[in-house]
Amino acid sequence: MTQPLAVAVLGASGRMGSEAVRAIEAAADLHLVAALGRKDPLEELVAAGAAVVVDLTVPDSTEQNVAFAVEHGMHAVVGTTGWDSERLGRLQDLLALNPEVGVLIAPNFALGSVLATAFAARAAKYFESVEVIELHHPNKVDAPSGTAERTAVLIAEARAEAGLAASPDATRTSRDGARGCDVDGVRVHSVRLRGLVAHQEVLFGGVGEQLTIRHDSFHRESFMPGVLLGVREVGSHPGLTVGLDGYLDLQA
């Protein structure tokens, strides 16, 4: 009989971490060997014999956590935000020294969100205008969301490839923040509202028409199938994968 896969969770008492602990404990093919918080030493991952580390912490600590896992031969599944191109570059360098290790950086684990981002990237070249609105619970510490950043980057790449000009915008005067932030030329607006979990709309505008691609996570359970997929797959994907779509067949 195959042994269950030994999995550790960092950020285990957080909103996402506690949900991940429950999901891993309920999976017969996985064995939760460590559930760590901010004050626990990372060496406990080694002592527990973790094969896969799930990082659901904070942008300030995720890079250090993942580096520790990689240096100790553990695969990492990362939902934490804050992975800009500089951090990803440093992680690539580290992975080159540890080529057997796999790391998944997933801005969003919800299948619907992954699809919505993929659909938006696909639609991008057909519309003159685009803006992204992300809406989250008020306890979120970062803005814009990692999902919105990733969506905007992919839209910008598709527009550039198609030779599209910047979205039309005659604004000459504005209050700070009124037009959102600029991610590679795509405007991204962040809403923080009690009652929300995680939501995003991509608005595409053409002459006389609008296409809206919207996704809603109403509960953090929505992220768990993606977390479990990442945990089960990461060992078969050495190197860096950004986006859960890297483990899914979204072609056709």
Ligand X SMILES: NC(=O)C1=CN([C@@H]2O[C@H](COP(=O)(O)OP(=O)(O)OC[C@H]3O[C@@H](n4cnc5c(N)ncnc54)[C@H](OP(=O)(O)O)[C@@H]3O)[C@@H](O)[C@H]2O)C=CC1
* Closest listed residue to residue 187, CA positions, set 157, 142, 148: 148
Please choose, out of 25-33, 75-83, 155-163, 166-174, the segment that lies near ligand X by the rule CB under 6 A.
Answer: 75-83
- Whether 125 is a known active-site residue: answer no
Min dist. Cβ of residue 66 to ligand X (A): 11
Q: Residue 37 binds which entry of ligand X, ligand LZUJQKHR, none, with Cβ cut-offs from 5 to 8 Å by kind?
A: ligand X
Report the distance separating Cα 119 and Cα 103, nearest Å: 24
Out of 11, 14, 146, 243, the residue judged to bind ligand LZUJQKHR by CB under 6 A: 146
Residues 168-195 as b/e (b if ≥16 CB within 10 A, e otherwise) read eeeeeeeeeeeebbebeebbbbbeeeee
Report the distance separating Cα 133 and Cα 151, nearest Å: 11
Q: Residue 36 binds which entry of ligand X, ligand LZUJQKHR, none, with Cβ cut-offs from 5 to 8 Å by kind?
A: ligand X
Out of 5, 7, 8, 16, the residue judged to bind ligand X by CB under 6 A: 16
Determine which one of 31, 72, 140, 237 is catalytic.
140
CA dihedral (180, 182, 186, 189) in degrees, to 10, reads: -20
Task: Give the helix/strand (H/E) hosting 191.
Answer: strand 186-192
| Choice between 80 and 234, CB closer to ligand LZUJQKHR | 80
- Cis before 144? omega within 30: yes
Out of 27, 46, 48, 58, the residue judged to bind ligand X by CB under 6 A: 58
Q: What is the DSSP letter of 249?
A: -
Question: By CB under 6 A, is residue 198 in contact with ligand LZUJQKHR?
Answer: yes
| Choice between 25 and 169, CB closer to ligand X | 25
**Which residues neighbour 22 within 8 Å (Cβ) at sequence distance 6 or greater?**
none
Report the distance separating Cα 252 and Cα 237, nearest Å: 22
- Whether 199 is a known active-site residue: answer no
Question: By CB under 6 A, is residue 101 in contact with ligand X?
Answer: no
Q: Which residues bind ligand X (CB under 6 A)?
A: 10-11, 13-17, 36-38, 56-59, 61, 65, 79-81, 106-109, 146, 223
Residues carrying an active site annotation: 136, 140
